[in-house]
Structure 1
Amino acid sequence: MDPVDLAGDGLLLRCWRPTDADAVLGACQDPEIARWTTVPVPYGRGDAEAFVTGAAGAWAAGTGTPFGVFDADGGELLGSTALHLEPARRGADLGYWTAPWARGRRVAERAGRLAARWGFDALGLRRLGWRAVVGNHASRLVALRLGMRMEGVTRAGLRPHGGEGDPVDGWLAGMLPGELRDAGPDDVRLARAARQARTYSGAQPTVDAGTLVLRALGPGDVPHLVRTSRDPETVANTGIPVPYQESDAEFFVRYAADCWRGGTGVVFAAAAPTGRFLGTFELRLDGYPARVGEVGYSVAPWARGRGVATTALRALCDWAYAALALDRVEWRAFVANPASRRVAEKAGFTVEGTERGHHLQRGVPVDTWYGARLSTD
């Protein structure tokens, strides 16, 4: 297959040339490209030269279409995009990166749309796939804006940095002919996805709630989690393992980090200004991009009766509306837990009913109350 040029939307996509090596070398010093893509780390001149000179061979072999992405007017390098072809199934995977000086201009989306349309129209692709390391929220947003449908997670299924290093979890998505989204402003769903991508691309924040803070859970919280989770009241009102072991707490700390990395929710530790652990407050998201979340919380026995749960729950909801653009936050509790209901009502939740046998508590169906607080409440 001979290389082609694609032009449109202010961009020129063309096969790499040896003279592009300096610009590629500069772009690939960027820590975000090193973090999320398969480029070698550290990235040297030899890597850049091999990348640009090897492009023609991929075209000739029919295994890929490595495009440099350039500004159509000034010729500046803006990024890279490629279709990694699988001729036997008439499919391809779309890959891309954006030079650090070109970010915020939707370069990957614009270039990806040009390449995808050409792939469907000129190559007759039956499927275009996408994959990225879990946590690469910017790349996932690009895929969503192109019309990709999120299809799942491949556990330990990706090998970054040229195949070196441990396997990592990856997101998978794909589109079929006719599903490519036209260029245009974000609709409500995409605007929500963009808000969530911006939030989850950064470090988990610390939320100041006045008399306490909500912060990321860490290994130092393990003893407090064990003590809280062995408390009889906690055992009675939750479905946590019994007896609760240190390994359970260590798993929960890892789970909390995974929630933030994957954008599936957030787990905060509530802490006093002195740093003392007061409890955990979790928000689980319903899908991607989510418009609904569900809270769960547990207060340490030494912190009960002081308004900790109400204050923390209000702060968590306010943060979720602002940072994640949620419309609705739901709450559930066993009907044998009136204290949780009082907390939810004080925090602005409206109890909406009872679900019979909704939850399994260690294998036994139990009734739950449910309710919600809306962003407009």
Structure 2
Amino acid sequence: MDPVRLTDDELTLRCWRPDDADAVYRACQDPDIQRWTTVPSPYTEADAAHFVATAPDQWAAGTVATFGVFDSATGELLGSQGLHRRDGTAELGYWTAPWARGRGVTVRAGRLVARWAFDTLRVHRLGWQAVVGNHASRLVAARLGMRLEGVTRSGLAPHLGDEPQDGWLAGMLPGELRAAGPDDAALARAARQARTYLTAQPTIEAGGYLLRPVTETDVPALVELCRDPAMAEFTTVPVPYQPSHAAFFVRLARDRWVAGDGAVFAITEPAGRLLGTMDLRLLDWPARIADIGYSVAASARGRGVATSALRAVCDWTFDALAIDRIEWRAYVTNPASRRVAEKAGFTVEGTERGHTLHRGTPVDTWYGALLR
């Protein structure tokens, strides 16, 4: 296959040339490119020279079509697009030079490549994959029209010798390429959530208490919290609750933030003592609805801890994640949880008969919600 040139009003996509090596080397010093893509890390001038020198051979073999993305007016390198072909399908990969981010370059370039793949190469499916946590890449895929299809568990290892990591998978069929234009409501929400999850999980002030990420140092306090008989009665925590369960919960909390599936907060006194937890889960992507659960240590009950923390987490969720509705559920035998939800502004909407299995037995639950 001979190299092709793709253009729009502002971008030129062409095969790499030897004189592109210096710009590729500078771009690939970026920590995010080295973290999220398959480029070598550390990235050397020899790596850049090899990358651009082998591009024509890959085109000739018909296996990989690699494009440098350049500013049509200045010739400045803006990014890279790669199309890996196999059996009538192709997979799209890309990176953006750090100096070109925030300008929509990768979406525009990706649209050019995708249209060429469907119209000229006649592929019947265009796929994409990325390590879970690469929210910027997932947002680009969504803006192109890709549909998120699942997670490959321990399915990706970007660099030789890396531990396998979970990966997102998405795909697009002919006719599904999204036309150029502003984000619709769902994509605007996806962009807001991506911006939040690309940063560290925050610490939130909550009426004299703090909400912070759960850490390994919380394991002993979590064990004490979850061995409270009320936790066994009203939640699904394992019984008997062991330190290994708490350690798993800490890993789950960390992974939830990385994946953008929600957020787990420890509720603490300013001095650091753990008083409880807040567990927020997003129900889709991009999420419009979330649900929330909470627990408070016996010694902290009756002091407004849960109400203050719930209000603070909900305020943060509406602002940082652009969520429209936060749902709450509790067993009908747990009026204390209902009082907390109502004090925080939730409206109880009904009773779900036999909704939840509690240690093998169906139980009725109240359900309610707080709207933005």
> Could you tell me the TM-score, scaled by structure 1's length?
0.98
Q: State yes or no: 1:239 paired with 2:267.
A: no
Aligned to 1:130: 128
Aligned to 1:270: 267
CA RMSD of aligned residues (A): 0.7
Q: Give CA-to-partner distance per residue, 1:282-305, whole Å, 9 cap, x none.
A: 111111000000000110122111
Aligned to 1:152: 150
**How far 1:164 moved relative to its partner?**
3.0
Aligned to 1:350: 347
Q: State yes or no: 1:34 paired with 2:34.
A: yes
1:170 & 1:9 partners in 2: Cα distance?
34
SS at match of 1:244: coil
1:251 & 1:9 partners in 2: Cα distance?
51
Aligned to 2:66: 66
Q: What letter corresponds to residue 300 of structure 1 in structure 2?
A: A
Aligned to 1:44: 44
Q: What letter corresponds to residue 244 of structure 2 in structure 1?
A: S
Q: What letter corresponds to residue 135 of structure 2 in structure 1?
A: H
1:111 & 1:65 partners in 2: Cα distance?
13
**How far 1:117 moved relative to its partner?**
0.3
2:48 & 2:207 partners in 1: Cα distance?
51
Q: 1:119 aligns with which of 108, 117, 122?
A: 117
SS at match of 1:164: coil
Q: Which runs of 5+ in 2 are unaligned?
A: none
8 Å Cα contact 1:158/1:168 also seen in 2: yes
Aligned to 2:57: 57
SS at match of 2:65: coil
1:34 & 1:53 partners in 2: Cα distance?
20
8 Å Cα contact 1:9/1:110 also seen in 2: no
SS at match of 1:220: helix
8 Å Cα contact 1:352/1:371 also seen in 2: yes
Q: Give CA-to-partner distance per residue, 1:72-120, whole Å, 9 cap, x none.
A: 110000000011111x2x1000000000000001111111000000000
Q: State yes or no: 1:304 paired with 2:301.
A: yes
Aligned to 2:180: 183
Q: Which runs of 5+ in 1 are unaligned?
A: none
**How far 1:165 moved relative to its partner?**
1.3
Q: What letter corresponds to residue 12 of structure 1 in structure 2?
A: T
After superposing on structure 2, the runs of 4+ consecutive aligned residues of structure 1 that deviate more than 6 Å are none
Q: What letter corresponds to residue 71 of structure 2 in structure 1?
A: D
Q: Where in structure 2 are the equivalents of 1:284-363 lying within 5 Å?
A: 284-363=281-360
1:9 & 1:157 partners in 2: Cα distance?
38
**How far 1:9 moved relative to its partner?**
4.2
Aligned to 1:16: 16
2:257 & 2:360 partners in 1: Cα distance?
29
8 Å Cα contact 1:91/1:126 also seen in 2: yes
1:368 & 1:224 partners in 2: Cα distance?
28
1:44 & 1:82 partners in 2: Cα distance?
20
Q: Give CA-to-partner distance per residue, 1:296-352, whole Å, 9 cap, x none.
A: 011012211110000000001000000000000000000000000000000000000
Q: Give CA-to-partner distance per residue, 1:3-45, whole Å, 9 cap, x none.
A: 0000014100000000000000000000010110001110001
1:57 & 1:350 partners in 2: Cα distance?
64
8 Å Cα contact 1:331/1:344 also seen in 2: yes
SS at match of 1:157: strand
1:300 & 1:54 partners in 2: Cα distance?
61
Q: Give CA-to-partner distance per residue, 1:235-274, whole Å, 9 cap, x none.
A: 1110111001110000000000110011111100011111
8 Å Cα contact 1:279/1:300 also seen in 2: yes
Q: What letter corresponds to residue 118 of structure 1 in structure 2?
A: W
Aligned to 1:94: 92
SS at match of 2:108: helix
1:343 & 1:174 partners in 2: Cα distance?
43
